[in-house]
Amino acid sequence: MLVPALGLATLTLTLALALAKEADTFPGDPGPSAACPADMRLVEGAHYEHVAHVCLDERKDKKDSHCFAYAEDVSVLDGPVTELRVCMDRFEAPNAMGQKPMVMQSFEMAERWCAKRKKRVCSEQEWELACEGPGHRALAYGWSVNVRACNSNKGWRPVDFAAFDGPREGALKEAGKLWQGTPSGRYASCVSPFGVVDMMGNVEEWVKTRSGRAWPGALMGGFWAKPWTGCRGTNDAHQPTFAFYETGFRCCRSAEESPPP
């Protein structure tokens, strides 16, 4: 028979373990696949080169206009179709739930980091498919912008651009002042149909670009101050050495026919 104090401690530990397990489970996440390591998700399906949606709520700001709501399940699919099957990290690098995602990363840094782990930077097409899913969603979590679904609605902070032109130590210090990201997995609602987390907001992610772009790398997913960024929004304006206070990445690798070790 357990003494009351010991019984309470056992119950508390059991509850804590249950909550920890629950925290690692996201609604809509299909879970791990035998074709991928446990910390990755299988992304498989047909990728259309061009996808267009019907905007129902267009809003303008000082520089541009953005769509905040789309007609649900109304998509125009065009261009070449490619069948993709790839393993993708659940979280932004370092791909660990509860850890701060890496920033101040260039495309070249991302390539080296992934290669050391026998992975590679995800392609633009793989990222698009992982985000929109088989239903070709406009956003990773659905069809209308929900500022509470992801870490994507923080206010913009003034940037000391000169700090990023000098030594990396000064750039890192300025990046720390500008940081408004959250630990990976903080938003359980920010998950794609394939179970990939934080594709909208938090940090921008480097991808390997499709042919025809000016640079080998581009940024996708927006960051913590861009709630409108969708699955097809690509920022291809930067050289592969560009690193900024909100630039990160995640890795991919080939899917296996049998379980990896």
Cα separations (Å) of 239 from 199, 214, 217?
22, 9, 7
Q: Is residue 13 part of a domain?
A: no
Which residues are paired to 140 by β-bridges?
A: none
Cα gap 4→238, rounded to integer Å: 63
Q: Is residue 225 part of a domain?
A: yes
Burial string for 194-219 (b: 16+ CB within 10 Å, else e) reads: bbbbbbbbbbbbbbbbeeeeeebbbb
Cα gap 176→246, rounded to integer Å: 10
pLDDT of residue 257: 65
pLDDT of residue 24: 64
Q: Is residue 63 part of a domain?
A: yes
pLDDT of residue 28: 87
Residue 65 in contact with residue 59, Cβ under 8 Å?
A: yes
Cα gap 53→74, rounded to integer Å: 6
Strands, sheet with 217-220, edge to edge from the N-terminal-most edge strand = 234-235, 217-220, 204-208, 247-249
Residue 79, phi-psi category: left (phi > 0), alpha (psi -120 to 50), beta (remainder): left
pLDDT of residue 63: 82
Q: Is residue 26 part of a domain?
A: no
* Domain total in the chain: 1
Q: Is residue 203 part of a domain?
A: yes
Q: Which domain holds residue 83?
A: 39-254
Q: What is the CATH number of the domain that holds 175?
A: 3.90.1580.10
251: buried, middle or exposed (CB in 10 Å: 19+, 13-18, 0-12)?
buried
The model's pTM is 0.88
Q: ∠ CA(179), CA(207), CA(181), 5° rounding? A: 15
pLDDT of residue 256: 83
Tens digit of pLDDT per residue, the chain (261 long)? 333 443 444 444 333 333 334 446 688 899 999 999 999 999 999 999 999 999 999 999 888 899 999 999 999 999 999 999 999 999 999 999 999 999 999 999 999 999 999 999 999 999 999 999 999 999 999 999 999 999 999 999 999 999 999 899 999 999 999 999 999 999 999 999 999 999 999 999 999 999 999 999 999 999 999 999 999 989 999 999 999 999 999 999 999 865 545
Q: Is residue 109 part of a domain?
A: yes
pLDDT of residue 83: 97
pLDDT of residue 261: 53
